[in-house]
């Protein structure tokens, strides 16, 4: 049994919001109202009920957004507020949380052709759920909802194995199948729009690696996992978003990195051109291509939007994308965290390792990454100061369902990395290489990427944009040399 959800939105946006409310609260009782003020007036009459205000917001409708925020700020004792946004923009999310929303959930274009899988952003934990209330069917207002239609639309955006259970409601989804009571026969469901061939057919998963402090081996793990993915036959894109001080290219053996700052000088009304994507790419090895960092510090603040666009382009070109982030996040790193399919929170030795890892996980949550997509990684296990006890303490502090441990590589890893021999290192039989292979292979399979025996019999039938990126050409050549 759940709360009464006052859904303040237009009728065309109601199905998408109602579906996400049901995912959060299976027993929710929904009431659709035209605006925030009307929802508040009705909520004040329900003294003994738990009421949640669900508000549809849009970054494009700036006037409407300000009016809604001003309305709920005027409430003397506001209920729990959950904002449903049409885009996971860090600026919009931060504003809504600052203004009092306890959570922000993105549902794509509400009422559009193909809603995206929801992304949940939690605010202040002190604004938690209240007590439950008895279930009363007479308050249900689901006349716009058609679960089968919504699930069919959602499958256009599905790109990883972890979403496969969404095929049929009620089977492994945590959602109840729609009952006859939830439907109104005299309102037939709308027909789904025709989807052009190839659209949405391929979306590479994004793996973003974060840490709350430096020196924990985050960059080394990114390089090692990327090399392993490329050895498995996957087209692997790597982004070094430590734009000012990144040295991922050195670990991968690239002597002369290309400046990612050239993306900030693109033309065409802010649209990232194919030529810039190709020009900024660096070929590391067969199937492995690198972007970043920036050469000039003054252009770093201009790269937020270009990096966001680059990730979107690469999702249609690569099989998997690995992203290294700095300790201090700018717009580019925040955008990479917000769109990731797996967020690896890396910790290691240090008195502040536990609180810093917990803090960065909380920041990722506020940007929209649910904790079910996070994995805690204890690095350098067995090395100086990183015992089993320390690892267990860090895992308990993070309290994540997915956990991994990577053994300390010692002098062997340090020596091979100094010569850019990461590919040889990951192919070896040391404890570090074995742990990285186990971590990466399991994660890639969960994300729907063919690995090992799975890769041998797989056929890539997805239609991809025809950019000439250096997946297989020799080192030193440029994108324009490929025919």
Out of 1.10.10, 2.30.30, 3.40.50, 2.60.40, select the CATH number for domain 4-182.
3.40.50
- How far apart are alpha carbons 3 and 26 in whole angstroms? 10
In sequence order, the 6+-apart residues with CB closer than 8 A to the CB of 52 are: 3, 4, 5, 6, 25, 79, 80, 81, 82
* Vertex 428 angle, CA 427 and 429, to 5°: 130
* Vertex 172 angle, CA 170 and 178, to 5°: 10
Mean pLDDT of the 24-44 span: 82
Question: DSSP code of 450?
Answer: -
pLDDT at 167: 35
Strand ranges, E, within 335-461? 342-347, 374-381, 402-407
Mean pLDDT taken over the chain: 75
pLDDT at 171: 41
Lowest mean pLDDT, pick from 127-131, 171-175, 335-339: 127-131
Give the confidence band of 192 by pLDDT, cuts at 50, 70, 90: very low
Count of helix runs (H) and strand runs (E) in the chain: 16, 14
Give the confidence band of 339 by pLDDT, cuts at 50, 70, 90: very high
Give the confidence band of 391 by pLDDT, cuts at 50, 70, 90: confident
3-state helix, strand, coil in the chain (%, to 5): 40, 15, 45
Out of 3.40.50.10680, 3.90.550.10, 3.30.70.3270, 3.40.50.300, select the CATH number for domain 206-456.
3.40.50.300
Lowest mean pLDDT, pick from 114-118, 298-302, 325-329, 446-450: 114-118
Tokens 């205000």 found at: 53
- Residue 262, SS3? helix
Give the confidence band of 129 by pLDDT, cuts at 50, 70, 90: very low
Most confident residue range from 147-151, 155-159, 183-187, 238-242: 238-242
Neighbours of 330 (CB within 10 A): 18
| Global confidence as pTM | 0.58
Give the confidence band of 88 by pLDDT, cuts at 50, 70, 90: low
Name the token pair of 327: 């300790």
pLDDT at 185: 41
- Numbered ranges of CATH 3.40.50.300 in the chain: 206-456
pLDDT at 63: 67
């Amino acid at each position: 049994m759940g709360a009464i959800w006052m859904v303040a939105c237009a009728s065309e946006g109601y199905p998408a919001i109602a579906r996400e409310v049901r995912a959060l609260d299976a027993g929710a009782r929904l009431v659709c109202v035209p605006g925030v003020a009307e929802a508040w007036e009705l909520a004040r009459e329900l003294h003994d009920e738990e009421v949640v205000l669900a508000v549809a917001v849009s970054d494009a409708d700036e006037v409407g957004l300000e009016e809604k925020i001003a309305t709920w700020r005027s409430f003397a004792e506001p209920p729990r507020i959950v904002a449903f946004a049409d885009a996971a923009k860090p600026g919009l999310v931060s504003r809504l949380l600052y203004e009092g929303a306890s959570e922000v959930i993105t549902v794509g274009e509400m009422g559009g052709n193909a809603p995206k899988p929801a992304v949940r952003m939690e605010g202040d934990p002190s604004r938690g759920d209240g007590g439950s209330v008895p279930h009363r069917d007479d308050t249900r207002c689901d006349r716009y909802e058609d679960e089968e239609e919504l699930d069919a639309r959602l499958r256009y955006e599905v790109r990883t194995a972890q979403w496969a259970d969404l095929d049929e409601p009620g089977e492994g989804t945590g959602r109840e199948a729609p009952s006859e009571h939830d439907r109104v026969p005299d309102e037939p469901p709308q027909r789904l729009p025709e989807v052009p061939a190839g659209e949405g057919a391929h979306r590479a998963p994004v793996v973003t690696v974060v840490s709350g402090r430096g020196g924990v081996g985050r960059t080394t793990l990114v390089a090692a996992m990327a090399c392993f993915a490329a050895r498995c036959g996957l087209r692997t894109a790597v982004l070094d978003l430590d734009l000012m001080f990144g040295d991922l290219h050195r670990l991968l053996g690239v002597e002369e990195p290309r400046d990612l700052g050239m993306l900030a000088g693109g033309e065409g009304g802010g649209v990232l051109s194919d030529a810039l994507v190709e020009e900024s790419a660096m070929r590391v090895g067969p199937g492995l291509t690198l972007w970043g960092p920036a050469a000039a510090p003054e252009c770093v603040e201009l790269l937020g939007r270009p990096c966001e666009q680059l990730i979107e382009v690469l999702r249609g070109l690569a099989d998997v994308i690995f992203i290294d982030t700095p300790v201090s996040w700018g717009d580019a790193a925040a955008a990479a965290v917000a769109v990731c399919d797996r967020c690896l929170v890396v910790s290691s030795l240090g008195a502040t390792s536990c609180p810093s890892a917990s803090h960065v996980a909380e920041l990722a949550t506020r940007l929209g990454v649910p904790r079910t997509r996070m994995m805690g990684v204890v690095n350098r296990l067995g090395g100086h100061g990183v015992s089993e006890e320390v690892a267990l303490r860090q895992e308990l502090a993070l309290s994540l369902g997915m956990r991994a441990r990577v053994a300390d590589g010692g002098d062997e890893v340090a020596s091979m990395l100094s010569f850019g021999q990461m590919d040889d290192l990951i192919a070896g039989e040391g404890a570090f290489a074995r742990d990285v292979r186990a971590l990466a292979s399991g994660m890639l399979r969960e994300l729907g990427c063919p690995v090992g025996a799975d890769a041998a019999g797989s056929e890539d039938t997805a239609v991809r944009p025809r950019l000439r990126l250096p997946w297989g050409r020799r080192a030193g050549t440029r994108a324009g040399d490929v025919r």
